[in-house]
Amino acid sequence: MNKKIKNTIIKYFSKSASISELEELSRWLNEEGNALLFREFVKINYVIEYGLIDFDTEEEKQKIHAMIRKRQSKRLKSRYIALYKYAAAAVLIIASTYLLRDIYFDNSVKDIPVLVKTNIEPGTDKATLTLGDGTHVLLEKGQDLKTQNANSNGKEIVYEASEIHPQETVYNYLTIPRGGQYRIVLSDKTEVWLNSESQLKFPVTFIKGETRKVELVYGEAYFDVSPSNDNNGAKFKVVNQSQVVEVLGTEFNLKAYKDEDQIYTTLVEGKVAIHINGEKQNLLPDQQAKWIPHTNSFSINTDVNVYNEISWKNGVFSFDGKSLKEIMKIVSRWYDVEVFFLDKKVETTRFVGVIRKNRKLEDILINIKNFGIIKDYEINDKRVILK
């Protein structure tokens, strides 16, 4: 099974597959032997997700049919119905398959008080905008904002190009807290999706004829860069520490969290050049660069699953062989929690699967417990212990 088909199956289950992708998947399934490959792939890769939602064949069937009915396209409807028969057969196997292991961590669980279980809601659209004069403005879902240069509807902020070209650059900062996400459209029409615990420094408006430059101070961001041809040939650069990503019009993901040693640049389409300490490395689509600043180690992965790397901006977390320690570090940012765990043996357990970002944290923990992965869990405010 090739990587493209695997990605399409993942997108099918996360309800994000396009009509053309569904048609291609349907044609692939009709080829001899592929239905069995499909069932095996789902059996292995979707144990976690279907286990966590208390999978019931008839209930899930109704959910999928309800989703299909909402779609206006008859072609899309027919494709989902055709594909469902394969998914239903696969998840029957999943329902009786042993679920994998456990969750995240902290090095110490000393002096933790008696904890009370409570619901932890998923993250939402929120950010803090810092203006050029140092003023802080909270951006939250349901609240509108209008400034001289930008407008926000609570989910995104859009900057407009100024008719008056400034003599010097004025910078704003957009800071996303833990448990938040936000989208920004820069004045050159470049779109940026910012993940939890991230900060972007950017000019209110770009100076005509000069290189467009922004800085990902920390965190994770997905860039859909406005082409140079639409900006008088001006290049676009993203700075992070001493790394510079130079692009000409492309889509890529940059991950550079403060609490992680590695910086990852994943190219979706187009072309970028990465400059580090005077060295230049070109990156092609479906490749990922990893740089470790403190050892100055640089490498390129030519077989990265791009969908897994960028799925966060589409409402799901998609994992392919990550350890549960890594996975829960990602989840903890989205739910804004600290997770401690008592059994260190399960930290390195790896799995592949999808978790939808709109689910309550306790829904996940309850089902993990019900499947015997953990004996119990406790929650107090933003602290979680897995036993």
* 106 belongs to a structural domain: no
Specify the CATH number for the domain of residue 380. Answer: 3.55.50.30
Look at strands 236-240 and 243-247 and give their pairing: antiparallel
Residue type present at position 126? K
The residue to which tokens 């990852």 are assigned? 264
Residue 208: CA count within 13 A, CB half-sphere: 7
State the total domains in the chain: 3
Residues 134 and 88 in one domain: no
Is the domain of 133 the same as that of 270?
Answer: yes
Amino acid at 96: S
- Check whether residue 241 and residue 286 sit in a common domain: yes
| Domain, as residue range, for 354 | 320-386
Residue 310 lies in a domain: no
Shared domain check, 283 and 225: yes
Of the candidates 343, 374, 321, 329, the residue with the CA atom closest to the CA atom of residue 104: 329
Strands 316-323 and 263-269 come out as unpaired
Check whether residue 205 and residue 238 sit in a common domain.
Answer: yes
Please check whether residue 108 lies inside any domain of the structure. no
> How remote is the C-alpha of 81 from its chain's centroid?
28
Q: pLDDT, tens digit, for every residue of 95-112?
A: 322 232 222 223 334 443
Say if residue 131 is in the same domain as residue 279.
Answer: yes
How far is Cα 256 from Cα 237, in angstroms, rounded to an integer?
A: 16
Tokens 């048609």 correspond to what residue? Answer: 23
Distance CA 174, CA 192 (A): 11
| DSSP secondary structure, 207-235, as one string | PTTSPEEEEEEEEEEEEEPPPGGGGTT--
Amino acid, res. 254: L
Together in a domain, 327 and 254 = no
Are 25 and 163 in a shared domain? no
Give a yes or no: residue 119 inside a domain.
no
Q: What is the pLDDT along the chain (387 residues), one digit of tens a residue?
A: 787 887 777 777 655 677 777 778 778 887 888 877 877 666 555 544 443 333 333 444 444 444 444 443 444 444 554 555 455 444 333 332 223 222 222 333 444 343 444 678 899 999 999 999 999 999 998 889 998 889 999 999 999 987 777 677 899 999 999 999 999 999 999 999 999 999 999 999 998 888 999 999 999 999 999 998 888 889 999 999 889 999 977 999 999 999 999 999 999 999 999 999 888 999 999 999 999 999 999 999 998 888 889 989 988 888 777 777 888 888 899 999 998 888 777 777 666 667 778 888 887 777 667 655 667 788 888 888 878
Q: Is 277 within the bounds of a domain?
A: yes
Which residue, among 162, 136, 100, 116, has the nearest Cα to 381 in the 3D structure?
116
pLDDT at residue number 42 = 66
How far is C-alpha 203 from the chain's CA centre? 25
Domain-embedded: residue 109: no
Per DSSP, what are the bridge partners of residue 251? 224, 269
- CATH classification of the domain holding 213: 2.60.120.1440
pTM: 0.73
150 and 21 both lie in a single domain: no
Contact between residue 355 and residue 314 where contact means Cβ atoms under 8 Å apart: no
Residue 279 sits in the same domain as residue 156: yes
- Residue where a domain stops, chosen among 43, 77, 94: 94
Bridge partners of 293, per DSSP, are: none
Please indicate, yes or no, whether residues 128 and 76 belong to a single structural domain of this protein: no
Cβ contact 287:300 at 8 Å? yes
Domain's final residue, options 304, 336, 367: 304
Indicate whether 99 belongs to any domain. no
In 3D, which of 334, 330, 312 has the Cα closest to residue 121? 334
Give the model's pLDDT for residue 94.
34
Phi, psi of 372 (to 5 degrees): 80, 15
On the CB side of 184, how many CA atoms lie within 13 Å of its CA?
Answer: 32
Q: Choose among 288, 261, 258: nearest CA to 274.
A: 288
Distance CA 31, CA 3 (A): 17
Establish if 337 belongs to a structural domain: yes
Q: How many residues does the chain have?
A: 387
270 conformational bin, left if phi > 0, alpha if psi -120 to 50, beta if neither: left
Question: Are 192 and 277 part of one and the same domain?
Answer: yes
C-beta separation of 216 from 258 below 8 A: no
CA atoms of 243 and 321, how far apart (whole Å): 27
Last residue of a domain, one of 277, 304, 331: 304
